[in-house]
A and B are shown apart, each in its own frame.
Chain A
Amino acid sequence: MAGWVVVALDVIAFFAFSIALVLVLRERFENSNPYSGVIKLLFALAVLVYVFVAFSNILEHAGITAVLDEYEDYVEILFVPLIAYAVYTMHTARLYNDARRAAELLNAEHGLLTAIIDTSPTGIMLVTSAGTLAFANDMARETLRLQSGPGESLQMPDDLTCLSTQDSSVRPLSLEGLARGVTLFGSTCIVETGGKKVALSVSSSPLGTDAAPGAPQGSVVAFVDVTEREEARQGLLDAQARYSLDLERTVDERTVELLAVNRELGTVNRAKREFVANVSHELKTPLSAVRGFAELLLSGAPGPINAEQAKQLQIVADSSQELLALVERLLELERVESGHAVVTPSHVELDQVVEGVVDLIEPLARERGVKVVVESVGSVVAETDAGLLGQIVRNLVSNAVKFTPSNGSVTVKVLEVGEYRRISVADTGVGIATADQERIFEPFAQVADSAATRGGTGLGLAICRELAHALGGSVWLKSVPGEGSTFTLEIPARFSAG
């Protein structure tokens, strides 16, 4: 019974290994691989071993013959080495396939990279540590007119010059420098090839990082043709220089013209001042005589006059007095403008100057129904000219009283502001329109409905401004029409000439 079981198992083994042998012979191990045949042969022999063993066992255990049994041991001992060789060969075949795929991938990548480099608008070159050109793409060959030299190596043109526009010590396309492994970032240089000048922006980087310090490394070089950009830049620079020159010439011409006009204006102004001074001086004497004789006649000394004559003589005397006042102001303004105002600084208590002026103006203010108030923080002192200061304050307070309606008020404040002293005169008058505020300090400039109704020469504020300048200070106005005006005088605490 056991014998037949063994025979049955051997039959199964025989058929199984026979089928395996057929499958092995029909199989293509490791497709398209030179090892495929070897693998197939080794597996086939290994399987054939047990086809033979099974067949021998069938014959033996079925009692047919044991003639093959003596060969079984010699054949069976081959099985394991054959399998081992087959497995090892399969492993080798796979390594071969991997290497082949890697090579194909590398070739594909190399092809892609070459295509990209060759179609790139950037010139690309490889310079070896020996100073030879190992590679140059089409753009580099065309731009630099590279020629193939002996042994298919590329040669730079002998007459190639490339001078950097940024640093004269670096020659971006010098093979000697590139062989050392120079690093450049967009260094612009001008190349002259084939009689044509081309501007290139050159960048380079050392090739090897494992070279000994100081040893030549070679470089990879990339450059872009920036001729149009450089021409445009140069054009802009030229235009800028040209326009600058034109502008300077125009300014010079206008300056000369302005100086000439200024000289003429100065001459005219001097003539005007001299004329005004002369006329004023000439007018002053006869006007004094007119006023004096009118007052003499009014006094009745030369003889009696009737009431009508007295009235008319009074008009003559008043008019001549007004004319004399105008002449005096004109002479004063001329004196200040021409720099004849002599500043004599002394220790001045500003509050006392203001009090003195207010006392002087008080009768006029009372007559006009205007209240004058002085606000002071106490004793405020300055090294300045008391006479000129009093004149300015007098003009400002007098103006304020004149232009403030009855029942209004004028407030005079004396302040210390750091190294400066301020005297402000604020009134509750009609105010001054914004358009008039600038020209109010000009001579004879009066706002509408002022000179005619209030009297005045139109010279007071002009004199104030000139005197303030003479004291090293300034005077300004803030006014809101309908609410009043505030004139502020500011002078340095210590006058310094010049």
Chain B
Amino acid sequence: MLQSSEVVDLVIALVLLPIIASSGRAPIRLHKRLLFASYLAVVCAYIFTIAEGFFWPVVFNILEHASYAGAGILAVAALLSYRRHSGSGLI
């Protein structure tokens, strides 16, 4: 069923999405793309969380957890990329 905390999470994530998306400067580096992708994965997880209360609960539940796992992997990739670039001074 629909939980208010899940909706609030999604609303906050969507409201702050443009701010996070526009915070970078050209040229957009790989670690920023990966970090933003990680953030989008979390947002997708929020959407799947809400969706599982209405449709195909098993599928959306798996998608929700897969999104979290993907977000974590993307976050690691983003941080590794940041580390590599910060060492070369290309941040």
Q: Choose from A9, A20, A54, A83 the contact partner of B20 (Cβ within 8 Å).
A: A83
Q: Choose from B8, B75, B82, B86 the contact partner of A17 (Cβ within 8 Å).
A: B75
Residues of chain B from 14 to 72 with CB closer than 8 A to chain A in the complex: 16, 19-20, 23, 25, 39, 42, 58, 61-62, 65-66, 68-69, 71-72
Tell whether A83 pairs with B69 under 8 Å between CB atoms, given A23-B79, A23-B80. no
Q: Which residue of chain B has its CB nearest to the CB of A88? A: B23
Q: Which residue of chain B has its CB nearest to the CB of A89? A: B23
Cα-based distance from A12 to B62 in the complex (angstroms): 13
The answer to whether A50 touches B72 (Cβ under 8 A) is: yes
The answer to whether A80 touches B16 (Cβ under 8 A) is: yes
Interface residues on B, range: 20 to 34
Interface pick from A24-32, A204-212, A468-476 = A24-32
The answer to whether A77 touches B5 (Cβ under 8 A) is: yes
The answer to whether A13 touches B23 (Cβ under 8 A) is: no
Minimum CB–CB distance for A256 against chain B, Å: 93
Cα-based distance from A141 to B9 in the complex (angstroms): 70
Interface residues on A, range: 35 or more
Minimum CB–CB distance for A148 against chain B, Å: 45
A2 within 8 A of B: yes
The answer to whether B19 touches A12 (Cβ under 8 A) is: no
Using Cβ atoms and an 8 Å threshold, which residues of chain B touch A17? Answer: 72, 75
Q: Choose from B19, B65, B80 the contact partner of A57 (Cβ within 8 Å).
A: B65
Binary flags per residue of A53-73, CB closer than 8 Å to B gives 1, else 0:
110010000000000000001
Cα-based distance from A16 to B69 in the complex (angstroms): 7
The answer to whether A20 touches B72 (Cβ under 8 A) is: yes
The answer to whether A20 touches B76 (Cβ under 8 A) is: yes
Minimum CB–CB distance for A136 against chain B, Å: 42
Q: Which residue of chain B has its CB nearest to the CB of A79? A: B42
A19 within 8 A of B: yes
Residue of B5, B73, B76 with most chain A CB atoms under a 10 A cut-off: B76
Using Cβ atoms and an 8 Å threshold, which residues of chain A touch B12? Answer: 77, 80-81
Residues of A at the B interface (CB closer than 8 Å) are 2, 5-6, 9-10, 12-17, 19-20, 23-24, 27-28, 30-31, 47, 50, 53-54, 57, 73, 76-77, 79-81, 83-84, 87-88, 90-91, 94
Residues of B at the A interface (CB closer than 8 Å) are 3, 5-6, 8-9, 12-13, 16, 19-20, 23, 25, 39, 42, 58, 61-62, 65-66, 68-69, 71-73, 75-76, 79-80, 82-83, 86, 91
